Chains A and B, each alone.
Chain A
Amino acid sequence: MPNPIREKERAAILSSLGAGVVPAIGLQYIQVGRKAEVNALLSDLQRVEAGGASVRFVVGRFGSGKSFFLNLIQTVALERKFVVARADITTNRRLSGTGGVARSLYSELAKNFTTRSKPEGGALGSIVERWVADVAHEIISAGGTHADVQKRIVGLLRPLQDLVSGYDFAAVLNAYYRGFSEHKQELQIAAVRWLRGEYSTKTEARSDLGVRSIIDDDSFYDYLKLMAAFVKMIGYKGLLVCLDELVVLSHRLNNKAARDRNYEAILRILNDCLQGSVDGLAVVFAATDDCLTDKRRGLFSYEALATRLASNRFAGGDHVDLSGPVVQLANLTPEDCFVLLRNIRCVFCRGQNEDALLPESAIVAYLESCQRRMGAAYFQTPRETIKDFVGLLNVIEQNPTANWQQLIANIKTNAATDVESVIKDDDNPEKAPRTTERGRGTQTKPPGAVGNNDLVSFQL
């Protein structure tokens, strides 16, 4: 474990885990297991670097670590000089639809462009600016004019013009350069806005930039391909697009036609990327099991996807096949969970005096108590386990008198409100001690021996 941990990272990890969300930084301190899955994604990135494309579906239950996994891949990809774009699908931001829902997904992705130097997003503007500045510098320093620069830009972008909408793309970049060279900031801003898909009408785009088209619901994927080709051309290794919460499509859209149109869009991406007709694009979808396998509304309800995504019939049990597009995130093994919780404890204590706060036996006891819940083998997710564990650490730290055995024991019985029954006996109107007599109720016993008001015990 890299030590010492930075206070910013520690705070980010603990506060996000405590709230059940995935930390954006400091992942290396807590990552455990899932080596095979990480390697599979690494090989995807290598394929993209070599001029191919890839698509992956990361599948796991709610809280099983999909988002954590995506964050990890993002970190790795940034290290490898990828541009990463990430977005959550919502009912208003999806792959296909009308009224701007697909454009809005594109905008979200474009807004979230991250590079290694801009890991918090918003990198699209700086990417464009740096490239245009570089081209201009190259031409002007060689004695060229602004017109030469514009010609050069068009020339460089020529390969992109073969792609759908490539011509408009080049025109917008040229407009950006005009703004750059003539110090018209509003033109530069308008160009970046256009690239982010923030124009909603063609008239507006035409008056601002002189182009006849805008990025709209239908051209969502075409522009994604253009962007991938663009970043690759200007020197990045490729574009990694992460789309989280695919479950929204399957279980929140309550219209079969709408679902099918989105699945069709996914199918198109899947076909393109698998067939290698795209360059520089890696797409990762994160979905829940239901979202994938539900035959009535999930991806499997769309026949063409079902056959392509069905798992290898020879895999299963101990044998895995990670070459297919679906990466099934298995539940963490108990050992993995143990290591994970120990890592969290280490972060919590800043790597010092961990056993004094909570011994390892307590971690084991805690994990056992989690397992005791019915269906735990199936439904217990790291999110819940971790969230409660951070809570446990917080309580122990803030209440030095608290005893972990008791705290863990309390989780076990939280179904029955024991506290109440403890309090109850204090204000019991039947104060006299209860008789413990058992059996048939007709023993001869003067009733005076028991208080006249006391209840008498029997067993049926």
Chain B
Amino acid sequence: MDESPNRTEPDAFTLLDQGVQRQLYGMGWRELRPIQAEAIRAYCQSDRDLLIMAETAGGKTEAAFLPVLSAIASEPEGSIRAVYVGPLKALINDQFGRLEELCSHIDVKVHRWHGDVSASQKAALVKKPSGVLLITPESLESLLINRTASLSSLLGGLRVIVIDEVHAFLEGERGLHLASLLSRIRRYIVPGQARTRTIGLSATVGDMGIAQQYLCPGEPERVTVITGGDGSKDIQFRIHGYVKEAANGDSARGQNAKENADLRVMQRIACDLAEHCRTHSNLIFANAKGDIEIYADMANEQCRLGALPETFLVHHGSLAREVREDAESTMKSGRKMTTVCSSTLEMGIDIGSVRMVCQIGAPWSVSSFKQRLGRSGRKDGEPRRLRGYVICEQDATEKDPLAQLPIDLLQTIAICELMLTGWVEPPSLSKLDLSTITHQVISTIAELGAVGAESLHALLCCDGPFRAFDPILFLRVLRELGNADIVEQCENGDLILGLVGEHLRSKRDFYAAFASRVEYTLIAGDRKIGSIPIDTVPKLGEHLVFAARRWQVAEVDSAKLIVHVVPAKKRQRPKFTGGVGEIHSRVREQMMSTLASVTVPTFLDATAADALRRARLISKEHDLARRGLVDVGDSRCFWLTWTGTKRQRTLVALLTSMGIEATDRRIAIECRTNSGILAQRLHAVRERLPGMLTLAESVVPKQFRKYDYLFSDALLNESLATDRLELLEPEMLLV
């Protein structure tokens, strides 16, 4: 056939399959974006793996799938040809629509597989595997253990694996889990055909090497990195500070007065939110689910007071799917609504165009902050807009100088400034994750029926991602799993599941490597509105704000784990326990230099600027903007560390092991001793540093992952020493 006679040099577009070209033409594209053109050339003209990095809405999905679909268009049937792994169901549903559109003119079928996909659709795919499969890691796990017999026909001719939002998989249990799953599914690919390639899609990651290693373990140099150059995006932002009114001296009602002051400052924030957000589509991120609910309620109240329609929606992981999907589709419809959300909307789910992103409270990492900022200004020519709302906690009545520092504000400023320099935290995958390896041991045995210890080790720790487990350590793990009746050894040496292991494997929450707590379902009338963890279930008659509405608990059914609620008038913040991630030491260092500097960033509003200036005065008075010791009273001192959470934890462990009572105060460690003694003892310990395992012994709590409870402290300490603590160096103890 004659190929485009009127083009002299083949450009990226002509490398695509005719049907894909037709579809692009039909969609009226003017041109391919640079990353798309580069990705197409790289995919079609080499056999390398790709890492495509661009901000949200940078056209990453198309960059990956235009060449992938073109490559499989000629032979879509006979096996699944491309697997796409995405972290969220909603994201998969979204991508499903986009891919189906791209496939309009080619014969490639797009399938999705997650908890909400019907059994008949799944059965159809198993019967006649073809095309592209969109799946979550958890469903991939379920595929591996529940459809073992079909795996060869499903995956035998797999050509490419696409991992979306790779940065989300570079840390935590899910990342390890996925890495292990991918190495496991590769075993079903029939050898002798072209190498199955990997494409990663990601927002900017702090350390590309780690992402490359993740995509192509062992041969990271095979991964070509393609970066979207959208440096010209304008960002506009402003940080608003809020100061609590001083609690008036009535000590008898101190607690109550403090609560009132908290409420009033939140109300002021909500008032500003309503003012700033009312006229457009916006996203408001908050760090805790309780905050999400309470701020949405307060902002809607502001709308009502102004006789305006309520425009604030909520979106977080504890809401029922219907409520979340409703928020997503309302946003997508282009109505001028604002959603208060958690990190669930950080990822690339399409929610239409967002004009501005707000952040309530201090962000905890540059990478998540950047990701959030990227949700606004997705259209060409639109700037990214962001407003931060920070309560500057400065309790002048306290003697404690640390209590007078607005640490949240400092953290916000530091993260903003680091973001402007372009720095992002490097990701870190944990190495000795006992819980996730347990999960994979159980599921691999479930997949294979029975397996020898040696080949299990080869499978998980040589081919798979658990490379830090040497045979000796792996044997210790197996032995403890044996003690807990998770695994059992047959007489021929093969491992099979023990009774407890069988029980764990058959539980509904098994497929996820991360822990999910037992939850109560929240029901209003006959509609499920969400769920609430067992440890924060409200009592009968209590009020709570949920799904942006106010409720009162009418019935608690502890047998069926159901809470019935009825609409109510009173507002009460729901209790959710939640934590923030690890803070990198670079952030804390930046906070220190912000405090030491004299310039006031232009993005602060008057209150925040005042708060910063006051903080600097305090810092000067007590000499806080440095590393070192500060006495507070006779038997109490601060060790100003200005360092990340991991080193803080290490140092606290060290102090505890030395018998000194120590508390993490974010930028410092509070010690129950005076600075002279502390300095001496630190000096002494520098000569003879304790081993990491010794330090780990004094870390509590030790269990924080799903299956950690199965292990002895001795093994947990090994894991803590490697993953949760920083290697202790004498220089860290210079004061």
Contact = CB atoms under 8 A, between A and B. Distances in A.
B387 A455 contact: yes
Interface in B1-44: 1-2, 4-7, 13, 18, 21-22, 24-26, 28-32
B385 A460 contact: no
A430 B278 CA distance: 12
Q: Which of B231, B382, B420, B604 has the largest number of chain A CB atoms within 10 A?
A: B420
A225 B598 CA distance: 98
B275 A441 contact: no
Interface in A414-460: 414-417, 421, 424, 427-430, 434-435, 437, 440-445, 447-448, 450, 452-460
A375 B13 contact: yes
Contact of A456 (B29, B237, B600): B237
Contacts of B558: none
A458 B127 CA distance: 55
Contacts of B711: none
B417 A441 contact: yes
Given A429-B279, A441-B417, A442-B417, A456 B22 contact: no
B25 A379 contact: yes
Nearest to B31: A374
B276 interface: yes
A4 B600 CA distance: 79
Contact of A447 (B26, B387, B600): B600
Contacts of B600: 442, 444-445, 447
B32 A374 contact: yes
B453 to A, nearest CB: 48
B527 to A, nearest CB: 34
B586 interface: no
Given A373-B25, A374-B31, A459-B235, A416 B380 contact: yes
B33 to A, nearest CB: 11
A11 interface: no
Interface in B588-610: 597-606, 609
A316 interface: yes
Nearest to B417: A441
Contacts of A456: 236-238, 602-603
B31 A457 contact: no
Contact of A455 (B5, B107, B236): B236
B601 A375 contact: no
Interface string B338-382: 000000000000000001000000000000000000000001111
Contact of A375 (B24, B231, B234, B420): B24
Given A374-B13, A458-B237, A459-B232, A447 B609 contact: yes
Contact of B28 (A373, A424, A435, A444): A373
A257 interface: no
Contacts of A454: 238
A455 B276 CA distance: 11
Contact of B420 (A374, A435, A440, A443): A440
B603 A441 contact: yes
Contacts of A448: 606
B416 interface: yes
Contacts of B21: 375, 378-379
B569 interface: no
A313 to B, nearest CB: 11
Contacts of B234: 457-459
A458 B236 contact: yes
Contacts of B232: 459
B279 A427 contact: yes
Nearest to A411: B28
A441 B231 CA distance: 17
A164 interface: no
A183 interface: no
A375 B23 CA distance: 10
Contacts of B2: 316-317
Nearest to A459: B234
Interface string B246-290: 000000000000000000000000000001101110000000000
Contacts of B26: 379
B13 A429 contact: no
A435 B416 CA distance: 18
B275 A429 contact: yes
Nearest to A315: B2
Contacts of B28: 373, 414-415
A377 interface: yes
B233 interface: yes
A460 B420 contact: yes
A450 B24 CA distance: 45
A256 interface: no
Most buried by B among A378, A430, A435, A450: A378
A154 B383 CA distance: 86
Contacts of A430: 276
Given A296-B107, A460-B231, A415 B237 contact: no
B191 interface: no
Nearest to A450: B602
Contacts of B385: 455
A460 B234 CA distance: 7
A452 B355 CA distance: 20
A376 interface: yes
Contacts of A460: 231, 233, 235, 419-420, 422
A373 B30 contact: yes
Nearest to B238: A455
B604 to A, nearest CB: 6
A430 B485 CA distance: 64
B279 A374 contact: no
A447 B612 CA distance: 12
A445 B278 CA distance: 30
A441 B238 contact: no
A339 to B, nearest CB: 19
Given A375-B13, A455-B385, A434 B236 contact: yes
B638 to A, nearest CB: 27
A372 interface: yes
A5 to B, nearest CB: 34
Nearest to A317: B5
B383 A457 contact: yes
Contacts of B5: 317
A293 interface: yes
A378 B602 contact: no
A434 B238 CA distance: 12
Contact of B29 (A374, A427, A442): A374
A421 B383 CA distance: 11
18 contacts: A317-B2, A317-B5, A374-B25, A375-B22, A377-B7, A415-B30, A427-B279, A428-B279, A441-B417, A441-B601, A441-B602, A450-B602, A452-B606, A456-B603, A457-B234, A459-B231, A459-B232, A460-B233
Closest 7 CB pairs of A and B: A455-B236, A375-B25, A379-B25, A442-B599, A374-B29, A447-B609, A456-B603
Interface of B: 1-2, 4-7, 13, 18, 21-22, 24-26, 28-32, 107, 231-238, 275-276, 278-280, 355, 379-383, 385-387, 416-417, 419-420, 422, 597-606, 609
Interface of A: 290, 293, 296, 316-317, 372-380, 414-417, 421, 424, 427-430, 434-435, 437, 440-445, 447-448, 450, 452-460
